[in-house]
Amino acid sequence: MRKSEIYVTKQGVYTVVRPVGRLGLLEAEDLSATLEAVLRGGERYIATDMQDVDFISSTCLGVLVQTHHEVQRRKGRLVVGMLNPEVRRIFEISRLDQLLDLESDLPGLLQTSERLMERVEALRPLTPGDDEADNEHGS
């Protein structure tokens, strides 16, 4: 049986966690360790891209709930996105669709996040140590 893989990337303010395959009982430890590492890194905005997940166990759902609570405590946001209909139904049956932030347009959310980050960076004031500030003073 093929083990699930989990990819982590950064897009705008979000750290995107993208598991691939089946998220069963055996994969819960990997999912938990990945999300814990992201949180230890200081991230407060996490998006889980579930488009390539074909099953999620109750144990993995519990990992997402724990992560949701920790992110809320840090005043951040956990988004669960791109659920296929079968996996979405598991969230609905367990009523986690009422607790967790399910996002059908995850790419749109991430793209908006990237644009906002670009605007914030463009508005960031230059500090004396910046190259551009040094060039203005003829240094």
What digits encode the pLDDT tens for the residues 64-83?
999 999 999 999 999 999 99
If one counts the domains in the chain, the total is 1
Residue at 126 is within a domain: no
The confidence score (pLDDT) of residue 119 equals 78
- The region of weakest confidence among 18-27, 109-118, 128-137 is 128-137
Residue at 77 is within a domain: yes
Q: Which residues contact 126 (CB under 8 A, 6 or more apart)?
A: 132, 133
The confidence score (pLDDT) of residue 133 equals 46
Chain centroid to Cα 37, Å, comes to: 12
**Residue 19 has which token pair?**
């598991």
Q: Provide the CATH number for the domain around residue 37.
A: 3.30.750.24
The confidence score (pLDDT) of residue 134 equals 47
Give the whole-angstrom CA distance, residue 87 versus residue 1.
20
The confidence score (pLDDT) of residue 6 equals 96
When pLDDT is averaged across residues 103-132 and rounded to a whole number, the result is: 77
Residue at 103 is within a domain: yes
Residue at 131 is within a domain: no
Question: Is the model's pTM score more than 0.85?
Answer: no
Residue at 59 is within a domain: yes
Residue at 70 is within a domain: yes
Nearest to 40 by CA among 11, 8, 85, 1: 8
Q: Which domain holds residue 49?
A: 5-109
